[in-house]
Amino acid sequence: MTITDVSRCTMEVIEVEEFLRNPPPGFTVEAGYRFVKSDPENCCVFIDDFELSRGGKVVFQHSQGKKITVRNLGDYTRFRKSLTSKKIYILVSACESKPSSTDRKAPQKIKVLQQYVVSIDGSNPLIKWEIERGLDRTISSVAGESYRVDIDLCDALRGWAGESFCLLGNREKVTPVWKDTCFTLKYYSDALFDFPHWLGFSKRHFKISYHGR
């Protein structure tokens, strides 16, 4: 299932098996859906290796993973330019909205219903503005020390799915809990005494909105 926001073409949500069977432009899939190549000139892929529900490991060759580390201004500038000029891809999970266990003391296991590859267009003026604003606010708030910032697509997914969402192969409408919706930038400065970072005070977070119908 591929669902696209046609009105602005800023976001696509593709069920992972459908993505592997019919990869979008810029991707090729080899070795029985196990090895995925992408075009790094046009795509920013932030997907860790993962296991399919039917078994088998999937590897994205040019993926930077969900946690990206930069150590100098040049690397940061290149990363920022890539985010705001290319399509961004991450893997997310639609999960049950209610815990399966009625025992509040028992560890709660959240059931993954389906996984999706989400794409947003970083070059779209609205998305670009949100990314640049979030990164600028992060930099201005940390005063030169190391930091990490989570870039979150959860609000965009909630806006896209709405109140009633039909999972592939399931006629029942559900309101899923979206998991794994962030990718993270870690910046390490050369400050000699980086106490705020060491103490965990340099963690930041911003969200990307849904600019759809």
Other residues' Cβ atoms within 10 Å of the Cβ of residue 141: 11
Give the sheet arrangement for strand 57-60, strand by strand: 27-30, 35-38, 57-60, 50-51
Q: Which two tokens stand for residue 154?
A: 């959860």
Q: Which of 185, 183, 157, 204 is nearest to 46 (CA)?
A: 183
Q: Do 44 and 119 meet the contact criterion of CB atoms below 8 Å apart?
A: no
**How much is the pTM?**
0.83
Q: pLDDT tens digit string along 21-34?
A: 999 999 999 877 78
Q: pLDDT tens digit string along 32-91?
A: 778 999 999 999 999 999 988 777 889 999 999 999 999 888 899 999 999 999 999 999
Q: Do 39 and 61 meet the contact criterion of CB atoms below 8 Å apart?
A: no
90-94, 104-108, 204-208: which has the highest mean pLDDT? 90-94
Q: Which two tokens stand for residue 130?
A: 């949100």
Q: Which residues pair with 51 in a beta bridge?
A: 57
Other residues' Cβ atoms within 10 Å of the Cβ of residue 23: 17
